[in-house]
Amino acid sequence: MPIDIKLCSACFTVLLAGCAIMGRQQRENPIDRAKVNQVQRGMTKSEVTDILGAPVEIIFSNKEHDPLREHAYIFEHVTTKYTGITFGLLSFGNVDEKKDRVVVFFDERGDVESVGKTLLSHESSYGFPFGK
Amino acid sequence: MTNIILRRVLLATCLLPLPGCRLDFTRSQRGQPLKFDDFHELQPRETRREDAVEKLGAPDRVRWESGKSRLTWEHEDSTFIQLRLQVPFSIFGYRHNLFQYFEDQRNVNAMDLLFDESGLLEQKTLRLHDAYKTPHEPGSWRFVLTPRFEHSFLLLGDADFQDYDEIFDDGFVAGFDLGIQPVPPAVVKLGGRYQIHDGRTISAGATRVSFDDLELFTAEASVRLQLPLRILFDTEQLQNVWTLLLEDDPAVFEGWLVFLEAGLGVTFNGNVPVALDGVPGGNFFDAGPGVSSSIGVGIEYSWEGISVQAAFVYRTSDGFDEGNSPLPSDADRFQSFLGMASVSLKF
């Protein structure tokens, strides 16, 4: 009979020994939604950078006659949330990365032609690796 | 004494690898799910770049190609599953892998739009991970290796002197199955089991009767049928059960499954000595073989190369041979209900 108690204790010790790890990583500066909405078609590049600051990346035209024309400015802020949960022999990990990303396209004259925006970094979440 | 040593060796053998055994599930999602409805509304030669980014949001990549701009939206959904058997102790933080198996699946969905110099949509393309799946080869068989553990929570049957549950405690079963899966809905298996129930001490009048442990060694052949669990919740799919049983694409049988398995085998029981007021009184049961069978029903979650299962199992074996003790032991069938957990590796 004592062997059963030892067995149960050993099983519980092994199976219940666990831990949880949670972490959040943020890259680049946060993007203010209100400021993004201030960027309007027809604005100049300097007006855009006055509002949003320096872009993270600049896309250049590769046209033969105008290879250094700035075609688009990219602004980005990335939030990644990490979840790690261990139950004895099983461990579950989840990584959820969401971005705030704004791409401002310029026309031939260098004025704003259009603004593409995806502001979803706040939707990054902790969780198990199941479901959608 | 021999039984106790054997039992301790078995327990140590079972428990020793556990601290070094790890099963890891990791999922990684990057980006936002793509807006396919908006994508389908885009019309080549009609949609302008500003309308596209208005609907789809900021692209993840912007490239210039000979005066044309290519915008790409991407969503990555990756799954990493790993089984590791390691040495159960570490040496300065290093643990040696005895066995490691992993599946790393990176699914990327992408929308690609090409605009001409005037900013008019010239070409639109979808890249979906399903298109990159390895083509299934019909007729390929798979092997399934399943270590399993069962805990008995109910014993039934008359052992003549008393019912089985009066003279034995609840026990456990440890074993494994090696199966062949000719088609995804069916698995044919051969397996071995070790079942043990501790003997109890009971009072019979003024006499204290102590039973030794009951040990069963079983070799079993079994068949298992499985179906995707979703058919139970979808009346339209219920009509397709027969179609599913003929299905030969393993990918259809990934996710949640419900299964039914039945087995037939031979069980050898060990001697069960009995002591009367502490004095050896011979064998209550003699060692010998008998026919056994089992049936189980459960659920499984299956990935491409691995699956986990939980089930309820009913096991029964022939009544054991009468021993030479003075107690009556013309036993009926030995029956047990068990909860089962297991992990299967498919290769």
User: For A97, which of B30, B64, B65 is closest by C-beta distance?
Assistant: B30
Residue B286 contacts A where some CB pair is shorter than 8 Å: no
C-beta of residue A94 within 8 angstroms of C-beta of residue A128: yes
Chain A neighbors of B215, CB-CB under 8 A: none
Question: Under an 8 A CB cutoff, do B26 and A95 touch?
Answer: yes
C-beta of residue B267 within 8 angstroms of C-beta of residue B292: yes
Residue A10 contacts B where some CB pair is shorter than 8 Å: yes
Question: Under an 8 A CB cutoff, do B53 and A114 touch?
Answer: yes
Q: What's the pLDDT at B133?
A: 47
Q: What's the pLDDT at B130?
A: 58
Residue B151 contacts A where some CB pair is shorter than 8 Å: no
Query: How far, in Å, CA of B254 to CA of B247, rounded?
Result: 12
Q: What's the pLDDT at B196?
A: 93
Assess whether pLDDT exceeds 60 at residue B1: no
pTM score above 0.90: no
Assess whether pLDDT exceeds 80 at residue B179: yes
Question: Under an 8 A CB cutoff, do B56 and A116 touch?
Answer: yes
Assess whether pLDDT exceeds 80 at residue A12: no
pLDDT tens per residue, range A44-88: 999 999 999 999 999 887 666 666 777 899 999 999 999 988 776
Best residue in B7, B10, B27 for a mutation probing chain A (most A CBs within 10 Å): B27
A34 band by pLDDT with thresholds 50, 70 and 90: very high
B5 band by pLDDT with thresholds 50, 70 and 90: confident
C-beta of residue B300 within 8 angstroms of C-beta of residue B308: yes
Q: What's the pLDDT at A1?
A: 43
Q: What is the CA radius of gyration of chain B?
A: 30
From B261's Cα to the closest Cα of chain A, the distance in A is 26
* Spacing of C-alpha A122 from chain mean position: 9
Please compute the mean of the pLDDT values over residues B184-192 and round it to a whole number: 88
Please compute the mean of the pLDDT values over residues B142-160 and round it to a whole number: 89
Residue A93 contacts B where some CB pair is shorter than 8 Å: yes
Q: Exposed/middle/buried for B93, CB within 10 Å: 0-12, 13-18, 19+?
A: exposed
Residue A52 contacts B where some CB pair is shorter than 8 Å: no
ipTM score of complex: 0.73
Q: What is the 3-state secondary structure (H, E, C) of A66-122?
A: ECCCEEEEEEEEEEEEEEEEEECCEEEEEEEEEEEEEEEEECCCCEEEEEEEEECHH
Assess whether pLDDT exceeds 70 at residue B306: yes
User: When comparing pLDDT for B138 and B161, which is higher?
Assistant: B161
Question: Under an 8 A CB cutoff, do A59 and B67 touch?
Answer: no
Integer angstrom CA distances of residue A34 from A51, A52, A100, B200: 10, 10, 13, 75
Q: Kindly identify which residue of chain B lies nearest to residue A99, measuring between CA atoms.
A: B31
Residues 6 or more apart in contact with residue B294 via CB below 8 angstroms: B220, B222, B261, B262, B263, B265, B313, B314, B315, B316
From B139's Cα to the closest Cα of chain A, the distance in A is 31
Tokens coding B167: 């003279």
Q: Kindly identify which residue of chain B lies nearest to residue A1, measuring between CA atoms.
A: B198
Question: Under an 8 A CB cutoff, do B54 and A116 touch?
Answer: yes
Residue B5 contacts A where some CB pair is shorter than 8 Å: no
Assess whether pLDDT exceeds 60 at residue B345: yes
Residue B64 contacts A where some CB pair is shorter than 8 Å: yes
Q: What's the pLDDT at A9?
A: 63
